Amino acid sequence: MGPPGAGKGTQAEIVAERFGIPAISTGDIFRANVAENTELGIEAKRYMDAGEYVPDAVTNLMVRNRIDEEDAAKGFLLDGYPRTLDQVEELDGMIRHTGHRLDAVVVLTVDPGELGARLSARAQKEGRADDTEEVIRRRQEVYTEQTEPLIDVYRKRGLLREVDGLGEVDEVTERIMSILTQVEES
């Protein structure tokens, strides 16, 4: 977890590879569907371009199907899911069904100034449709309103691991790895 630009996608890829499990990014799956102009992509794009969340029913079904795939059998790392209280409950149900359990919830903390700088830099490099100033602002608001409350939910469950997301990518990776290795051993 973490606000837009915190480094979720960057770190998820690296960390998942170290553990030999897939990184499942709801944002990436939506973007792939938008690029291929699938029905799901057409539906998702309306929300993404405005910086709003795609409806829970659509997102939950997509994740349910994804974690049922064979490569996720031994475990997976979720990037950008769950993001709403409804998604938290759905995920609980899904992993009860697949026999997985949640080991840890990593939250990357980065101050707003740095987030803005990272996203405007990416806007220039990659031109992601939702990296405009206005939509970035809306994504940040939606995160605060709908996703930040999940931090307390997972804290109460004893799963929360807060990680400083500032610094070089490698430094952040090592912070995450040292925390997750402890979780793995316990």
> Which residues lie closer than 8 Å to 43 by C-beta, 6 or more apart?
54, 58
Give the residue, chosen from 16, 30, 150, 163, that forms a contact with ligand AP5 under the rule CB under 6 A: 30
Q: What is the CA radius of gyration of the chain?
A: 16
Span of 6-14, 32-40, 45-53, 175-183 interacting with Mg ion by CB under 5 A: 6-14
Amino acid found at 117: A
Nearer to Mg ion, 8 or 83 (CB): 8
- 5 near ligand AP5 (CB under 6 A): yes
CA–CA separation, 103 vs 158, rounded Å? 10
Question: Least distance to Mg ion from the beta carbon of 6, Å?
Answer: 9
Span of 99-107, 153-161, 163-171, 174-182 interacting with ligand AP5 by CB under 6 A: 163-171
Structure tokens at 183: 């979780």
Give the residue, chosen from 122, 132, 160, 162, that forms a contact with ligand AP5 under the rule CB under 6 A: 122
Give the residue, chosen from 1, 2, 33, 107, that forms a contact with ligand AP5 under the rule CB under 6 A: 2
CA 121 to chain CA centroid, nearest Å: 20
Residue 30 near residue 44, CB atoms below 8 Å: yes
CA–CA separation, 95 vs 15, rounded Å? 21
> Which residues lie closer than 8 Å to 157 by C-beta, 6 or more apart?
none
CA–CA separation, 64 vs 181, rounded Å? 26
Give the residue, chosen from 9, 41, 75, 116, that forms a contact with ligand AP5 under the rule CB under 6 A: 9
Q: List binders of Mg ion among 25-54 (CB under 5 A).
A: 27
- 123 near Mg ion (CB under 5 A): no
Structure tokens at 168: 């070089």
Active-site residue 8, yes or no? yes
Residues contributing to the site for ligand AP5 (CB under 6 A)? 2, 4-10, 26-27, 30, 47-48, 51-54, 59, 80-81, 83, 87, 118, 122, 130, 139, 167-169, 172
| Positions marked active-site | 8, 83, 122, 128, 139
